[in-house]
C-alpha cells in the first residue's frame, strides 16, 4: 500500500520536485563562486566594487522606496529628467528591486538577494512549464554551471540579472505554449513579459514580436491583428514617454545615430555605403576583441565569442527544424536566431563595443536554456557550447578583473561608516519643491593632484585610480617648469553613505571648473588636495567632511 502511495505522490509532484532541485543549482553555484574567491555571499560588499553603475541603481531604488521618487536629481554634468529625478536609464529597469524592497526592506545586500531569488524562480518556472527530459535537465545544469557571468552578475547591483530572469521565464511560457498546449494564459503572460522587458531595455522588443506574431498567426480575424498592433504601438509610446520625461541626458548619446542621419543628409546610396562601412570596421574590431577573449580572457571578447557560436547553433537548428518540418521548433529557434542577428547589427551600428557587450549577456542567458532543449544525437550542439564555456570562462575569463567579487574589509567598512555618520549629521534633505538641486551631491569623476600632495597622503591603499602625468607651469619671467601632476579618481564608493533620498550628478572635472560659479547642486564631492578642492576652499564653501583622500563641500 505504501509503495502505491509513494508512486502516486511521485507521479503527481515529480515535476515540482525536479524544478525545485534544478532551481537550487544557481544558489549552489553562487556559493561555490564566492568560496573559490575566498568569501561567502554575505561578505559581498557593493562599496568595494569598481562598477560605478551600481551606485546609481542602488541609490535610486533607495529614494523610490523612501519617498516615491528620489528627492534629488540623478544625472551627468548636472543634467536631469524633465519630470521627477531618474538617471539616463528607464526606471522600469529596477522595478523588481523596488518590489523586493517593499516586501523585505532595502540594504546593501538586497539587490544581491533579489537577483538570486528571481533567477531561482525563473529556473523553477522554466522547468515546470517546459518539462525537459532528464538528459535535457543534465545539459541545462552543465551549461548553467559553466556560464560563470551568471554568478558574477547575480552577486552585484547590476540589473542584467533582472533581464536574464524575466527573459528565461518568457521563453518558458512561449516554449510551453508551442509544445505543451496553446493555452491563452501562456500567450497573455508572455505578451505582458515582453512589454515589461521592452520598457526595461528597448532592444528587447525583439522578443515581444514573437508572442505578438503567434497571436496574429493563430488568432481569429482582424481582432487579433488589431490587438497585437495596439500592444506594440502602446509599448513604443510608453517607452518614448518614459525616455523623454524620466530620462536624464547622458555624457554622450546612449545610441549612435550618425549612420541613420547619412540617409537624410547624403541620400540612400551614400547611407547604405556608410552602413556597410560601419559594419565592416566595427566587425573587424569585434573580431579582434573576440580573439583577445580566447587569448587573455578579455571580458567583451568572451561574450562576443559565446554570442557568435550560439548564433551559429540557432541558425543550424532552425535549418534542421525546417528540413524535418518541425514547425514549433522552427518558430522557437528561428526567432532566436533572427533576434541574435538583429541585436548583433544594432550593437555594431549603435553601441560602443566595450559597453554594449554586456547587453549580449541577456541573449546568452536565454539562449543557453533553449540550447539545452535541442534534441540532437549525443547533444553535440550543447556539448560544443559547454566546451566553449569551460575554455573561455573557467579557463580565461576567471582571471580578469571583471570576474573578481568585491568582499568586505574592515578598513573600507569603517571608512564608509565614518562618512555615513558625518553625512547623516551634516546633510539636510529639503522636501519642499522636491526634486531639486538642493538634494544633489556632485560626484567629480577625477581631479589632478600634485605629486608632492599625493606622496603626503597617509593611506596609500586607496590610490588605485592614480594615473601618472606632468604639467607645464609658467613661472615669473616666462620660463616653463615641469611639475609632477597625477590624475586621481574620486573615491565615489563613499557616496553609498549619502542619506536616503539624495541624488547624484556625476560630473567631469572640466565641467565643474568651467561652470564653477554657476553650479546648481548644493553639495560637491571631490578628491582631497586637488584643483577643485582648492577652488572650493578659496571660494569659502563649507567643508562638510574630509577623510584622507576625499572631501565633500556645501556651496552654502
Q: If pLDDT is split at 50, 70 and 90, which confidence band does 433 have? A: confident
Question: Which region among 39-53, 378-392, 412-426, 447-461 has the lowest average model confidence (pLDDT)?
Answer: 447-461
Cis peptide before 99 (omega within 30 of 0): no
Residues in the chain: 556
Q: What is the mean pLDDT of residues 173-200?
A: 95
Q: Residue 35 pLDDT more than 90?
A: yes
Domain membership flag for residue 441: yes
310: exposed, middle or buried (Cβ count in 10 Å: 0-12, 13-18, 19+): buried
Q: Is pLDDT of 178 > 50?
A: yes
Instruction: State residue 472 phi and psi, 5-degree precision.
Output: -95, 120
Position with higher pLDDT, 391 vs 270: 391
C-alpha cell at 431: 522636501
Q: Which residue range is the domain that position 491 belongs to?
A: 411-554
Strand residues in 327-376 grouped as ranges (E): none
The enclosing H or E element of 156 equals: none
Of 66-70, 329-333, 349-353, 499-503, the one with minimum mean pLDDT is: 349-353
Q: Which residues pair with 503 in a beta bridge?
A: 440
Q: Is residue 8 very low, low, confident or very high in pLDDT (cuts 50, 70, 90)?
A: low
Asked if 174 and 204 touch (Cβ cutoff 8 Å), the reply is no
CA distance 385 to 147: 10
User: Is 180 contained in some domain?
Assistant: no
Q: What is the pLDDT of residue 434?
A: 82
**pLDDT score for 456:** 54
171-181 mean pLDDT: 94
pLDDT tops 70 at residue 469: no
Q: What are the tens digits of pLDDT across the range 529-553? A: 999 999 999 999 999 999 888 999 9
Q: Which stretch of DSSP H or E encloses residue 523? A: strand 523-527
Q: Are 494 and 550 in contact (CB under 8 A)?
A: yes
**Rounded CA gap, 197 and 192, in Å?**
9
Q: In which band, very low, low, confident or very high, does the pLDDT at 9 lie, cut at 50, 70 and 90?
A: low
User: Cis peptide before 51, with omega less than 30 degrees from 0?
Assistant: no
Least confident of 168-172, 252-256, 458-462: 458-462
In sequence order, the β-bridge partners of residue 483 are 471
Asked if residue 483 is part of any domain, the answer here is yes
pLDDT band at 516 (very low <50, low <70, confident <90, very high): very high
Over range 346-358, report the average pLDDT.
88
The rounded mean pLDDT for the chain is 89
The half-sphere exposure of 86 on its side-chain side, counting CA atoms within 13 A, is: 20
Q: What DSSP string describes 133-150?
A: -HHHHHHHHHHHHH-THH
Greater pLDDT, 11 or 385: 385
315, 307 Cβ separation under 8 angstroms: no
Residue 352's pLDDT is 85
State how far the Cα of 35 lies from the Cα of 33, in Å rounded to an integer. Answer: 6
- Pick from 86, 62, 55, 64: which is nearest to 73 by CA? 86
- Are 41 and 31 a contacting pair, CB within 8 Å? yes
Instruction: Please determine, for residue 476, whether its predicted confidence score (pLDDT) is greater than 70.
Output: no
Is residue 97 within 8 A of residue 162, CB to CB? The reply is yes
Domain assignment of residue 493, yes or no: yes
Q: What share of the chain is helix, strand, coil (3-state, %, to 5)?
A: 65, 10, 25
Whether residue 363 is predicted with pLDDT greater than 90 in this model: the reply is yes
pTM: 0.91
CA neighbor of 152 nearest in space, from 36, 60, 47, 309: 36
CA–CA gap between residue 443 and residue 524 (Å, rounded):
6
Residue 426 placed within a domain: yes
CA dihedral 150, 154, 157, 158 (to 10 degrees): 20
8 A C-beta contact, residue 247 and residue 201: no
Q: What is the pLDDT of residues 104-115, one digit of tens each?
A: 999 999 999 999
User: Is residue 479's pLDDT more than 70?
Assistant: no
| pLDDT of amino acid 484 | 58
| Lowest model confidence (mean pLDDT) among 122-131, 363-372, 378-387, 423-432 | 378-387
Per-residue buried b or exposed e for 57-84, using 16+ beta carbons within 10 Å of the residue's own CB: bbbbbbbbbbbebbbbbbbbbbbbbeeb
Tally of CA atoms within 13 A in the half-sphere of 376 that contains its CB: 20
Is 10 a residue whose pLDDT tops 90?
no
Q: What is the pLDDT of residue 218?
A: 79
User: What pLDDT score does 451 carry?
Assistant: 55
pLDDT, residue 549, reads: 86
In a domain, 245, yes or no: no
Q: Do the domain assignments include residue 351?
A: no
Residue 432: predicted pLDDT: 87
Give per-residue pLDDT as tens, 209-232.
999 999 998 777 788 899 999 999
How far apart are the C-alpha atoms of 178 and 266, rounded to whole Å?
Answer: 46
Residue 43 lies in a domain: no
Cβ contact 28:154 at 8 Å: no
pLDDT > 60? residue 423: yes
**CB-based contacts of 201, cutoff 8 Å, min separation 6:** 90, 93, 163, 359, 362
Number of domains in the chain: 1
Coil, strand or helix at 429: coil
Amino acid at each position: 500500500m505504501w509503495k502505491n502511495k509513494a508512486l502516486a505522490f511521485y507521479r503527481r509532484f515529480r515535476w515540482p520536485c525536479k524544478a525545485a532541485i534544478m532551481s537550487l543549482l544557481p544558489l549552489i553555484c553562487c556559493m561555490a563562486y564566492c568560496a573559490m574567491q575566498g568569501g561567502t555571499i554575505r561578505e559581498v560588499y557593493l562599496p568595494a566594487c569598481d562598477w560605478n553603475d551600481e551606485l546609481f541603481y542602488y541609490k535610486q531604488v533607495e529614494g523610490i522606496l523612501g519617498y516615491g521618487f528620489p528627492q534629488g536629481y540623478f544625472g551627468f554634468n548636472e543634467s536631469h529628467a524633465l519630470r521627477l529625478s531618474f538617471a539616463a536609464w528607464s526606471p522600469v529597469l529596477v522595478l523588481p528591486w523596488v518590489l523586493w524592497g517593499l516586501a523585505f526592506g532595502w540594504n546593501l545586500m538586497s539587490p544581491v538577494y533579489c537577483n538570486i531569488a528571481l533567477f531561482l524562480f525563473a529556473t523553477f518556472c522554466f522547468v515546470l512549464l517546459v518539462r525537459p527530459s532528464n538528459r535535457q535537465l543534465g545539459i541545462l545544469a552543465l551549461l548553467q554551471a559553466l556560464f560563470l557571468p551568471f554568478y558574477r552578475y547575480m552577486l552585484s547591483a547590476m540589473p542584467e540579472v533582472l533581464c536574464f530572469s524575466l527573459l528565461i521565464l518568457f521563453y518558458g511560457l512561449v516554449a510551453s505554449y508551442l509544445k505543451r498546449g496553446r493555452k491563452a494564459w501562456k500567450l497573455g503572460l508572455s505578451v505582458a513579459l515582453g512589454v515589461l522587458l521592452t520598457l526595461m531595455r528597448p532592444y528587447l522588443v525583439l522578443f515581444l514580436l514573437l508572442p505578438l506574431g503567434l497571436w496574429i498567426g493563430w488568432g481569429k480575424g482582424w481582432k487579433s491583428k488589431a490587438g497585437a498592433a495596439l500592444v506594440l504601438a502602446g509599448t513604443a509610446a510608453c517607452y518614448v514617454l518614459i525616455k523623454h520625461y524620466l530620462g536624464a541626458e547622458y555624457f554622450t548619446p546612449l545610441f549612435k545615430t550618425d549612420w541613420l542621419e547619412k540617409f537624410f543628409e547624403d541620400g540612400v546610396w551614400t547611407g547604405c555605403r556608410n552602413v556597410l562601412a560601419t559594419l565592416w570596421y566595427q566587425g573587424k574590431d569585434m573580431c579582434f576583441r573576440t580573439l583577445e577573449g580566447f587569448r587573455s580572457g578579455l571580458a567583451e571578447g568572451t561574450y562576443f565569442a559565446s554570442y557568435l557560436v550560439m548564433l551559429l547553433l540557432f541558425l543550424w537548428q532552425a535549418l534542421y527544424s525546417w528540413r524535418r518540418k518541425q514547425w514549433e521548433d522552427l518558430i522557437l529557434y528561428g526567432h532566436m536566431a533572427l533576434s541574435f542577428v538583429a541585436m548583433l547589427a544594432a550593437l555594431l551600428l549603435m553601441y560602443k563595443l566595450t559597453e554594449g557587450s554586456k547587453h549580449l549577456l541577456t541573449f546568452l542567458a536565454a539562449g543557453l536554456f533553449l540550447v539545452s532543449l535541442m534534441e540532437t544525437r549525443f547533444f553535440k550542439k550543447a556539448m560544443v557550447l559547454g566546451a566553449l564555456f569551460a575554455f573561455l570562462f573557467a579557463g580565461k575569463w576567471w582571471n580578469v578583473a571583471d570576474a573578481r567579487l568585491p568582499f568586505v574589509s574592515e578598513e573600507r567598512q569603517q571608512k564608509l561608516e565614518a562618512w555615513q555618520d558625518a553625512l547623516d549629521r551634516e546633510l539636510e534633505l529639503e522636501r519642499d519643491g522636491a526634486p531639486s538641486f538642493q538634494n544633489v551631491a556632485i560626484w567629480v569623476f577625477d581631479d589632478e593632484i600634485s605629486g608632492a600632495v599625493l606622496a603626503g597622503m597617509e593611506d596609500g591603499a586607496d590610490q588605485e585610480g592614480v594615473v601618472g602625468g606632468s604639467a607645464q607651469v609658467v613661472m615669473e619671467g616666462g620660463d616653463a617648469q615641469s611639475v609632477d601632476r597625477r590624475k586621481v579618481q574620486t573615491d565615489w564608493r563613499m557616496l553609498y553613505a549619502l542619506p536616503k533620498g539624495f541624488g547624484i550628478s556625476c560630473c567631469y572635472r572640466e565641467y565643474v571648473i568651467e561652470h564653477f560659479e554657476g553650479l546648481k547642486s548644493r553639495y560637491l564631492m571631490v578628491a582631497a588636495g586637488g584643483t577643485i578642492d582648492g577652488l572650493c576652499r578659496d571660494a569659502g564653501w563649507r567643508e562638510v567632511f574630509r577623510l584622507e583622500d576625499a572631501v565633500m563641500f556645501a556651496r552654502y
